[in-house]
């Protein structure tokens, strides 16, 4: 399961469930969140994730940048991420 949480509103704004952990399924969750919240470039929005291969994939990071969102990834082995 992949979910996108709007921390300010404290609610899930995008989610997907898949039997496989391909980058496209986390990107679909991001697309749902973008459609739901409609952020604008320069709004200071940050997308934080762990260092999972899906979240650091080229397709996912390009889409985050295209949406005008600042990417953020946690440190390796950080359980408080």
Structure confidence at residue 76 (pLDDT): 72
Residue 57 placed within a domain: yes
Q: Enter the pTM of the model.
A: 0.79
Reported as a single tens digit per residue, the pLDDT across 46-77 is: 888 878 788 888 898 899 899 988 888 877 76
Confidence of residue 81 (pLDDT cuts 50, 70, 90): low
Over 80: is that where the pLDDT of 23 sits?
A: no
Residue 49 placed within a domain: yes
Residue 79 placed within a domain: no
Structure confidence at residue 77 (pLDDT): 67
- Tell me the residue range of the domain where 33 lies: 2-73
Residue 34 placed within a domain: yes
CB 59 within 8 A of CB 27: yes
Residue 24 placed within a domain: yes
For the segment 11-33, the average pLDDT, to the nearest whole number, is: 89
The domain tally of the chain equals 1
Residue 15 placed within a domain: yes
Residue 55 placed within a domain: yes
Residue 81 placed within a domain: no
């Amino acid at each position: 399961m992949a979910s996108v949480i709007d921390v300010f509103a404290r609610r899930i704004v995008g989610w997907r469930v898949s039997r496989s952990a391909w980058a496209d399924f986390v990107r679909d969750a991001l697309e749902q969140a973008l459609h739901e919240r409609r952020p604008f470039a320069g709004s200071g929005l940050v997308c934080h994730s762990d260092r999972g291969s899906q979240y650091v994939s080229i397709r996912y990071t390009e889409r985050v940048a295209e949406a005008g969102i600042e990417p953020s990834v946690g440190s390796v082995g950080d359980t408080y991420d």
